């Protein structure tokens, strides 16, 4: 009898603990999930049609905060794990309110996704087939791997690295960084129209780039290369103002 | 009867064609008239001479010549015969010409028809192109309002289809450059507008954007575009950027480098 009470208690504690670190929300009717965070954010895919936030090891709420709620610029913590999740029309807005410790977020593979890092957080996105927008506004880096859909990514000081799976959509891909390195891997047979420009950096690639500059017109942004690979196709635009660019065959 | 000579009957007598009365009278006369006997003798001689004389046969040469002449005559005649089929040929070619003419007429009218059709089609195509351009403009403007940044960029890049975009497009691009929350969309909008820096409204948009823009990549791109067209109104926002603390050092360097060239 004592033993079973102990087991039940342990299970209860376990579920409570789980409830504290995981948060799920159904994604029916949601087209876009927008995530904003100051700290590291890792976004991965899972098979169920819901948002799952794993906030990792529990963050101790300060003694003085007992009975109080965490409030950030994204709104009050309505998840009990330091996140604010608000639905706005067909968009789900997810704010990481904590300023330390990263989080892992799981979403279905085809989800359209927009991730913004407003401070030092690194963005790591893996395995999506929907549209992806990533913006590291200050010092964070962006790493996007195994994606097919259109990617719109920007970084200020961090590295911007994208590894594409098969690219077959027609929406343009734009990868811009001001001070960070732009490093892109594409399958060698991707049909694309490339527009590559760097002001103070250099461009390195193993693609066979034939320059198709219009009537010898010089771009305003210094050194700009327009080229078609594999007969031309999706528009891929890469820019780095102050760093090198690397375009690799995968 | 004595006095009547029978000389004119002699040939008949000699021929033996005198019969009965005439023959008896003739023999009677010949017996008593020596003149007529002489005549008869002469006539007999003549007749025998006729009989003895061989019938003249045309020589081989004459025959050959005659046949030659005949041949030529035949051939001449043949030519005339040949003329008939020739005339027939002429008829045929005439018919052929007629058929050809009618075919040509048919083809020509068909061509004319198709030319007119083509002209109409060209007009239709031109109309359609105008329509597609209008549709493109509508699509462009609506894409620029899309929730997806990639779609907005696609909308912005439709500018390549327009050689001289109207004010509505310029304004929409300007709104993207000035107010879009996504840096890449703003950058793409700048790229699109940078091709029309000769337009006064584009210049004003760029100057306004330079005052607002926080992304250093876009700042430096705008600065370069405005310096390229020697826009004096750009000096003020550039000096403001120099004074701001949060302006990236390399932007300040850039401004310091280009300011003397337009002031």
Residues B213, B201: Cα–Cα separation, whole Å: 18
Token digits for A220?
Answer: 């305003």
Subunit contact B221:A150, Cβ cutoff 8 A = no
Q: What are phi and psi of A134, to 5 degrees?
A: -135, 135
Residue B34 confidence class, pLDDT cut points 50, 70, 90: confident
Q: What is the pLDDT of residue A11?
A: 60
Over residues B199-249, the pLDDT tens digits come to 999 999 999 999 999 999 999 999 999 998 998 899 999 999 999 988 888
The whole-number pLDDT of residue A102 equals 80
**Cβ–Cβ of A221/B221 closer than 8 Å?**
yes
Distances (CA, A) of B93 to A93, B89, B99: 89, 6, 9
Number of domains forming the structure of chain B = 2
Is B96 within the bounds of a domain? no
Q: Is residue B162 situated within a structural domain?
A: yes
Predicted confidence at residue B78, as pLDDT, reads 60
For residue B217, give its domain range.
142-262
pLDDT, tens only, A108-121? 999 999 999 988 89
Task: Write down the pLDDT at residue A13.
Answer: 56
Assess if residue B66 is contained within a domain.
Answer: no
> Residue A241 in contact with residue B217, Cβ under 8 Å?
yes
Lowest mean pLDDT of A20-29, A137-146, B129-138, name the range.
B129-138
Point out the least confidently predicted range of A31-45, A169-183, B68-82, B103-117: B68-82
Alpha helix segments (H runs only) across chain A: 2-21
Q: Nearest CA to CA, how far is A241 from chain B (Å)?
A: 6
Digit-coded pLDDT (tens) for A49-60: 999 998 766 666
Report whether pLDDT(B192) > 50.
Answer: yes
DSSP one-letter code for A122: P
B150, B252: one domain: yes
Q: Tell me whether residue B131 is in a domain.
A: no
* Interatomic CA distance for residues A200 and A222, integer angstroms: 9
Q: Tell me, yes or no, whether B245 lies in a domain.
A: yes
pLDDT in tens, B5-26: 777 777 777 777 777 788 888 7
Three-class SS state of A166: coil
Which residue is listed with tokens 């504690």? A13
Count CB neighbours of A37 within 10 A.
26
State the maximum Cα–Cα separation within chain A, in Å, rounded to a whole number: 88
In a domain, B64, yes or no: no
Contact assignment for A172 to B225 by CB distance below 8 Å: no
Beta-carbon contacts below 8 Å between A and B: 79
Phi, psi of B169, rounded to the nearest 5 degrees: -70, -45
| pLDDT over 70 at A8, yes or no | no
What percent of chain B shows pLDDT beyond 90?
28
Q: Cα angle at B232 between B230 and B238, to 5 degrees?
A: 100
pLDDT beyond 60 at A17? no
Contact between residue A102 and residue A56 where contact means Cβ atoms under 8 Å apart: yes
Task: Please identify which residue in the block is written with the tokens 């010549």.
Answer: B65
Q: What is the mean pLDDT of residues A116-131?
A: 93
Structure tokens at B210: 């330079």
% chain A with pLDDT above 70: 85
Note whether A235 contacts B: Cβ–Cβ < 8 A.
Answer: yes
The pLDDT assigned to B2 comes to 47
Confidence label for A219 from pLDDT (cuts 50, 70 and 90): very low
Smallest Cβ–Cβ distance between B188 and the set A114, A174, A178 belongs to A174
Among B136-145, B157-166, B225-234, the range with the most confident prediction by mean pLDDT is: B225-234
Q: Is A172 exposed, middle or buried (0-12, 13-18, 19+ CB in 10 A)?
A: buried
Q: Is residue A229 left, alpha or beta, with left meaning phi > 0 and alpha meaning psi from -120 to 50?
A: beta
Count the neighbouring beta carbons within 10 Å of the beta carbon of residue B40: 19
Residue B165 in any domain: the answer is yes
Distance CA B157, CA A174 (A): 12
Q: CA–CA separation, A179 vs B219, rounded Å?
A: 13
- Chain A residues with CB-CB distance to B148 below 8 A: 32, 112, 131, 133, 150, 171
- The residue with greater pLDDT, A219 or A141, is A141
* Greatest pairwise CA separation for chain B in angstroms: 186
- Whether the CA torsion B129, B135, B138, B143 is positive or negative: it is negative
- Mean pLDDT, residues A190-199 taken together: 90
Residues B46 and B149 reside in one and the same domain: no
Top-ranked range on mean pLDDT: pick from A63-77, A136-150, A219-233, B20-34: A136-150
The residue ranking higher by pLDDT, B158 or A162, is: A162
Confirm whether B202 is domain-assigned.
yes
Q: Examine the pLDDT at A145 and tell me if it is beyond 50.
A: yes
Q: How many CB atoms lie within 10 A of CB B121?
A: 12
State whether residue B185 sits within 8 Å of chain A by CB: yes
pLDDT > 90: percent of chain A: 52
- Long-range interactions of B160-166: CB distance < 8 A, separation 24+: B161/B133, B161/B136, B162/B133, B162/B136, B162/B137, B165/B196, B166/B137
Residue A147 pLDDT grade (very low, low, confident, very high; cuts 50, 70, 90): very high
pLDDT of residue A220: 39
Q: Which residue, among B199, B260, B192, B191, has the nearest Cα to B229 in the 3D structure?
A: B199
**Local confidence band at A93 (pLDDT 50, 70, 90 cut-offs):** very high
Model confidence at A247, pLDDT cuts 50, 70, 90, reads very high
What pLDDT, on the 0 to 100 scale, is given for residue A92?
94
User: Do residues B147 and B250 both lie within one domain?
Assistant: yes
Instruction: With CA atoms as reference, report the closest residue to A17 among A82, A80, A102, A85.
Output: A80
pLDDT, position B246: 87
Examine the pLDDT at B1 and tell me if it is beyond 50: no
């Amino acid at each position: 009898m004592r033993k079973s009470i102990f087991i039940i208690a342990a299970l209860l504690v376990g579920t409570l603990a789980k409830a504290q670190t995981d948060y799920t929300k159904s994604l029916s009717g949601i087209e876009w999930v927008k995530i904003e965070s100051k700290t590291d954010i890792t976004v991965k895919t899972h098979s169920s049609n819901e948002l799952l936030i794993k906030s990792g090891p529990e963050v101790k709420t300060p003694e003085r905060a007992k009975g109080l709620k965490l409030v950030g610029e994204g709104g009050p913590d309505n998840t009990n794990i330091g996140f604010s999740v608000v639905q706005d029309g067909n968009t789900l807005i997810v704010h990481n309110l904590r300023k330390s410790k990263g989080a892992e977020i799981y979403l279905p593979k085809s989800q359209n996704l927009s991730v913004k890092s407003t401070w030092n957080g690194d963005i790591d996105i893996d395995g999506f087939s929907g549209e992806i927008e990533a913006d590291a506004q200050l010092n964070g880096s962006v790493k996007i791997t195994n994606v097919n859909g259109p990617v719109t990514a920007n970084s200020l000081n961090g590295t911007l690295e994208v590894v594409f799976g098969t690219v077959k959509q027609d929406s343009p891909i734009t990868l811009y960084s001001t001070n960070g390195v732009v490093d892109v891997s594409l399958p060698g047979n991707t049909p694309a129209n490339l527009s590559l420009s760097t002001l103070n950096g250099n461009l390195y690639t193993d693609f066979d780039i034939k320059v198709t500059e219009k009537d010898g017109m010089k771009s305003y942004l210094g050194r700009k290369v327009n080229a078609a690979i594999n007969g031309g196709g999706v528009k891929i635009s890469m820019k780095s103002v102050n760093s090198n660019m690397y375009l690799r065959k995968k | 009867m004595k006095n009547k000579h029978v000389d004119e009957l002699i040939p008949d007598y000699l021929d033996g064609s005198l019969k009965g009365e005439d023959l008896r009278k003739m023999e009677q006369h010949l017996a008593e008239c020596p003149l007529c006997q002489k005549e008869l003798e002469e006539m007999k001689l003549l007749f025998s001479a006729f009989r003895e004389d061989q019938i003249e046969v045309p020589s081989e040469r004459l025959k050959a010549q005659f046949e030659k002449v005949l041949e030529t005559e035949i051939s001449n005649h043949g030519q005339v015969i040949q003329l008939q089929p020739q005339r027939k040929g002429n008829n045929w070619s005439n018919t052929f010409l007629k058929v050809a003419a009618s075919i040509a007429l048919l083809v020509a009218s068909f061509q004319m028809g198709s030319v007119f059709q083509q002209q109409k089609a060209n007009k239709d195509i031109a109309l359609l192109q105008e329509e597609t351009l209008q549709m493109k403009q509508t699509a462009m403007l609506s894409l620029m309002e899309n929730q997806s940044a990639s779609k907005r960029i696609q909308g912005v890049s439709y500018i390549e289809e327009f050689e001289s975009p109207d004010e509505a497009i310029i304004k929409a691009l300007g709104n993207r450059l000035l107010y879009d929350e996504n840096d890449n969309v703003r950058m793409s909008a700048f790229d699109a507008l940078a091709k029309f820096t000769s337009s006064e409204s584009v210049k004003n948009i760029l100057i306004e954007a330079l005052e607002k823009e926080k992304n250093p990549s876009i700042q430096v791109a705008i600065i370069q575009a405005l310096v390229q067209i020697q826009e004096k109104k750009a000096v003020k926002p550039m000096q403001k950027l120099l004074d701001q603390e949060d302006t990236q050092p390399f932007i300040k360097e850039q401004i310091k480098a280009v300011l003397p060239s337009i002031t």
